[in-house]
Amino acid sequence: MELSLFDLHCDTACEMFEKKQALSRNNLAISLESTEKFEHYVQVMAFWTDHRLDDEAGWKRMKQLRENLLRDPAVLSGDAICVTACPTRETKTALLFGIEDARIFAGKIDRVDEAFRLGIRVLTPLWAGETCIGGSHDTDVGLTDFGKRAIGRAISLGMIPDISHASIRSAEEIFELAAKQGRPVIASHSNASAVCPVSRNLSDAQIGKILSAGGVIGLNLYTAFLRKGGHAHLSDLLPHIEHFLALGAEHALCLGGDWDGAELPPELRTVADLPDLAELLLARNYPETLIRALFYENAYAFAKRYLIT
């Protein structure tokens, strides 16, 4: 079965920088070598900064991660193209930029505009704890006043707000901010809480709100979010897929693997192993159209509608 892949979240750009690895060939979960088998490949590259760095140092590191990616030989040669809007179907490999943890805005609203100018199109505003943006999934705190202003500004510019890592209260307020501007909300790398009840996964109510807002959901491959207690295998994705589909997510369910940022099932050493998921779904009588939608078409349709600048 020939497949394309549009993945909503990886930490590969961070690992490339830290480990001095090139995109074309490396020992990471994602490389152009490992994505070669896909007809088309689109990846949201998240720029995440370690909490050991303060907010100011984190802002500097985000820009270093971006520059490192832009200067990669595969990008300079055109083997991978960095884009700010939905790529054409003729593009073999395209990279979109995201920020994971907007604490690095450090209370400075002008940084939202600068981030947009730097090509950031997906904004995951929270990651852990309480920050200048608000409360993350491990708190019961909502957005700060600055967080509301920053996320509202990001939405108005054209960034896509992402509730992965947000607290319940913060997520509710992000939904409200997006609704005011008629824009979608996504969860780039989160699973179903009804299947695996951890704070990083989505409640049925949150899933319903994402769907009604026109958003998409990326299945996270992190073992701790697949099965309670971890120790998950590829087959542990199936209950999450079935739950999302039962809630009407057939046109919104995507992949957001958390590649190079989490412990994945042993069957998934690199992204090159992902077609094994397609084979597993085929063996369970899932139609090819649904599998192609999960791997690529749903995310592509979303990007074509909402990523236009």
CA–chain centroid gap for 309, Å, is 19
In the three-class reduction of DSSP (H, G, I as helix; E, B as strand; rest coil), residue 162 is classed as strand
Beta bridge mates, 255: 7, 219
- pLDDT tens digits for 69-127? 999 999 999 999 999 999 999 999 999 999 999 999 999 999 999 999 999 999 999 99
- Band of pLDDT at residue 309, cut at 50, 70 and 90: confident
CATH (domain of 244): 3.20.20.140
Q: Across the chain, where does the E strand assignment appear?
A: 5-10, 41-48, 81-82, 93-100, 120-124, 160-161, 217-219, 253-255
For 264, the domain range is 5-306
Please identify which residue in the block is written with the tokens 């992000």. 174
> To the nearest whole percent, how much of the chain has pLDDT over 90?
98
With 0-12 / 13-18 / 19 or more C-beta atoms within 10 angstroms meaning exposed / middle / buried, residue 181 is exposed
- Domains contained in the chain, number: 1
Find out whether 237 and 221 touch, Cβ atoms under 8 Å: yes
- Band of pLDDT at residue 230, cut at 50, 70 and 90: confident
pLDDT, residue 24, reads 98
- pLDDT tens digits for 236-287? 999 999 999 999 999 999 999 999 999 999 999 999 999 999 999 999 999 9
Handedness of CA 97, 218, 292, 31 (dihedral sign): positive
- pLDDT tens digits for 166-213? 999 999 999 999 999 999 999 999 999 999 999 999 999 999 999 999
pLDDT, residue 206, reads 98
Closest CA to 184 of 218, 161, 157: 161
DSSP per-residue string spanning 178-206:
HHHTT---BBTT--BTTTS--TTSBPHHH
Backbone φ and ψ of 241, nearest 5°: -60, -45
- pLDDT tens digits for 144-169? 999 999 999 999 999 999 999 999 99
